[in-house]
Structure 1
Amino acid sequence: MVGIKDIAREAGTSVSTISNVLNGKKNVSEATRERVLNICRELSYYPSVTGRALKVGNNNTIMFNFSDFDRSFYLKIMKGISDYVNDNDFDLIICTNKSGEKYMRNNLSRGCIILDKMMKDNVLLSVANPNYPIVVLDRMLDHRCIKSVVVNNYDPMKEMVHGLVQRGYRKFGFLGGPEYTTDNKERYEAFKDALEEDKIPFRQKFYFKGDYKEKSGYSAAKIMVSTQMMPEILVCANDNMAIGAIKAFNSYGLNVPADIAITGFDDCDLAGAMGLTTISIPNYERGFMAARYLIENIRGEMNTEPFMIPAKIKWRSSVLEFKSKKI
């Protein structure tokens, strides 16, 4: 069995530092926090809630459960959650994927925040109750003990596509994430609705499937080049895939945006450095608000009205400036 001492030895740090990371304390650098969490995942170490809280029946621990596919994205959300949790004398457990299900019990945690596309709706609906409220960041669920804190995907995506049409683009491609996810559905729906309003036809052969990971964007771009199915602009459902596509196009000697323009969604850390036009999500605030609503509901408020996180466009050099074409 892997223990906290094993994690400390592997990370080259003290046991107390590992404990601070696992409990979401502020006195640890982001680099150390990320390294420790990666080691925990690699060694399949998931800390249990111990001793004192269980003995006295005063467990002030919440859980954050997420799918591990984008470090910077999650770190910002974790920081927001951690800051609010620490300021309100709660502790934090961080879990990934199905391992989180075993912590959804009143004696181990008092509520949870979910950002995990693999966590099934029926699991959340069966677990949520007045003594165990849940906040979801990746879907809308109708339950008296579940609060949805979700990104407004539709409006900014639609605004961005209208802006691309105004810049003269007519031949669009779309690189989507997993089709069952709410984010992908809403972003693609906004994309199609904007083109329809601007009377720009979209050919389904220019819809490419990805999985939100950089590698899938790289692969999709290679297919476009090899099959000569190149749009004027590729609208991607997230930044990771957009960055993968840019790298692939560059490897073929193609210039972005002169040969093909690209947009993303999220505004991850690399987006600004790569000049990627994208839609910025305030992820720190997203985590902070999720923790606030969860702790308020644990304390009895039980506010479960959906809350929409606003997002805004960041125009950068991956698309051309306004052209003279008109709709």
Structure 2
Amino acid sequence: MTGIKEIAKQAGVSVSTVSNVLNNKKNVGEETRERILKICEELSYYPNMAGRGLKSGKPNTILFNFSDFDRSFYLKIINGISDYVNDNDFDLIICTDKSCEKYMNNSLTSGSIILDKKMQDEVLNRIAGENYPIVVLDRIMKNPWIKSVVVNNYEPMYQLIQGVIDRGYRSFGFVGGPEETADNKERYRAFRDALKANNIEFQQKSYFAGNYREKSGYTAAKILMLSRELPDCLVCANDNMAIGAMKAFRDNGLRVPKDIAVTGFDNCDLAEAMGLTTVSIPNYERGYIAARYLIENIRGQKNVETFKIEARIIFRESAGIKKD
């Protein structure tokens, strides 16, 4: 098996010189660099993720960072990213949590797509640069090397609530996601604005903090059922929590929507089977668009204006016409 020592021997240089070339360091002469890279190609020696880009000195690899395996929409995003990446002769690394940061440098990857609330803005601002563009999917950032591709949460949530009100519902509960996330903030703001526009009062005691997972929706619904009066409708900031709430109501003999209506947001794989009224986000396209913008920025076609993805409302049985 070919190794770095064999490359050094054929090139007539030291092992450290070969290592410097493979790590894209600038302390090797151009003629020597070209000779080493040519030998690497001839012997099909690609020691790391930068393999296919050795000749140009660029890795031709992008990184996708996410953190939550419990949410099925990630797979659709990954499929979209993967299809665009493969069509453009790039490689893809998928990485989670803190382990990502060590791969976010231009000797290993050409740029990153970030969908992880745990990845702090300070870290992204420090890493992003002319030679390392970043696309973020979960926040809007003002940085000349970071492009934001985000869901338009406000308008579809507002329209969803207006549609529910138009169907006869007048009292509401809300199950939110992590309160620091941009998605949750926008969805909750739209919810409150729609109620206010219809002169419907909302009491803070009817707000339940969740974490976008099914269990938190189940727990919120159980707490809600301890009160003397149920709201007409429980609005959930995502589908997983809505499905958890529906299961809790069912387990306790309540009927959806006859006893209480439920709405979600995402249109996850189970939403249709559960008859859940929700907002559908085109997640495959979301990943595809993010990969397209990242690779264009890697290639020098700089575009960092925020791109907002539109979503559509799907009314199903869980929030049908209210009948007194």
TM-score category (smaller protein): 0.7 to 0.9
Match of 2:192 in 1: 192
Amino acid at match of 2:247: K
Determine whether 1:225 maps to 2:225. yes
Match of 1:178 in 2: 178
- Cα gap change, 1:114/1:174 in structure 2, threshold over 3 Å: closer, same or farther? same
Asked if the contact 2:73/2:268 (under 8 Å) is kept, the reply is yes
Asked if the contact 2:51/2:59 (under 8 Å) is kept, the reply is no
- 1:35-77 Cα distance to aligned partner (Å, 9 max, x none): xxxxxxxxxxxx9626564586231000000012434210000
Asked if the contact 1:59/1:109 (under 8 Å) is kept, the reply is yes
178-187 or 315-324, larger mean C-alpha shift: 315-324
Give the CA deviation at 1:227: 3.4
- Cα gap change, 1:197/1:314 in structure 2, threshold over 3 Å: closer, same or farther? same
Determine whether 1:290 maps to 2:287. no
Matches of 1:63 and 1:285, distance apart in 2? 18
TM-score, normalization: structure 2? 0.83
Q: Give the root-mean-square deviation of aligned CA atoms.
A: 1.6
Amino acid at match of 1:83: D
- Cα gap change, 1:239/1:48 in structure 2, threshold over 3 Å: closer, same or farther? farther
Larger radius of gyration: 2
SS in 1 for 2:317: coil
Structure 2, gaps ≥5 residues long: 1-46
Asked if the contact 1:138/1:182 (under 8 Å) is kept, the reply is yes
Asked if the contact 2:212/2:238 (under 8 Å) is kept, the reply is yes
Asked if the contact 2:53/2:59 (under 8 Å) is kept, the reply is yes
For these two proteins, the number of residue pairs brought into alignment is: 278
Match of 1:104 in 2: 104
SS in 2 for 1:158: helix
Asked if the contact 1:167/1:323 (under 8 Å) is kept, the reply is no
SS in 2 for 1:234: strand
- 1:110-259 equivalent positions in 2, closer than 5 A: 110-228=110-228, 230-259=230-259
Give the CA deviation at 1:195: 0.5
Aligned-pair identity in percent equals 67
Matches of 1:253 and 1:167, distance apart in 2? 24
Asked if the contact 1:166/1:322 (under 8 Å) is kept, the reply is no
Give runs of ≥4 in structure 1 deviating > 6 Å: none
Matches of 2:281 and 2:150, distance apart in 1? 10
Determine whether 1:313 maps to 2:313. yes
SS in 2 for 1:58: coil
SS in 2 for 1:269: coil
TM-score, normalization: structure 1? 0.82
60-69 or 177-186, larger mean C-alpha shift: 60-69
